[in-house]
Every structure is written in C-alpha cells, then in structure tokens.
Amino acid sequence: MDYNRINGRLGQVCGPFAAGEDLLAKGGAIDSFTKESSKPNLLKLGIQAPADSYVSINGVNIKIGKTGIYELDYRVVVKSLMFPNGADETVIVDFVY
C-alpha cells in the first residue's frame, strides 16, 4: 500500500452490527467514530467478514468471497453501508475518511 496517497484519517469499527444498521447513518458505528458534523465521506473501505456473508453498499448487496476480504477505493462514493443479515463480532471494517 502506498501510504503517501492516503490523505484522510484512518478508522476501524468491529462488529457485532445489527441487521440493516447503516454504519454511516447518524448514530451509526462509523458516524459515531468519526465525529464529523456531516455524513463521513469514505475514501477507501476494507471489510473482513466470513465468506458468503453479505454487505450492502449504496443499496447493492455484495457477497463476500471465499477470502473473507472485500475492498473499495476512492472511485466509489459510499453513501450507505450495512450488513442486511447482521454481522457478528468477527467482522472488521477498516476505512479512510
């Protein structure tokens, strides 16, 4: 990873997360972490979760592959992030905002 290209701040939140809980919504895990006055703008996103679990990004359900890792970079503007079926304590969400 080229750390010189990361201009934002780093953050990490860990499960459990309730089914349908938007982590970016007011009072959500990421919103609470960042303490921003408006919804945080995620520049990069990395999710570690059990294989075959689902994450919903901007209303699109994405199945986590067999590696258990899913990553996005600055090309996607993340407006909502949730686990439709919930997530247990093994789930880790890393982000740059």
Instruction: List the CATH number of the domain containing 31.
Output: 2.60.120
Q: Considering the domain boundaries, does residue 1 fall inside one?
A: no
Average pLDDT over residues 50-72: 96
- Cβ-based neighbours of 94, under 8 Å, separated by 6 or more: 10, 11, 12, 45, 46, 47, 48
pLDDT, tens digit, 9 for 90 and up, residues 17-59: 999 999 998 888 888 777 666 677 788 899 999 999 999 999 9
User: Beta-carbon neighbour count of residue 13 at 10 Å?
Assistant: 17
As for how many domains the chain has, the answer is 1
Q: Considering the domain boundaries, does residue 73 fall inside one?
A: yes
By percentage, how much of the chain surpasses pLDDT 90?
A: 57
Res. 74: pLDDT tops 80: no
**pLDDT for position 57:** 94
What pTM, to 2 d.p., does this model score? 0.86
Q: Which domain holds residue 15?
A: 6-96
Instruction: Report how far Cα 10 is from the mean position of its chain's Cα atoms.
Output: 12
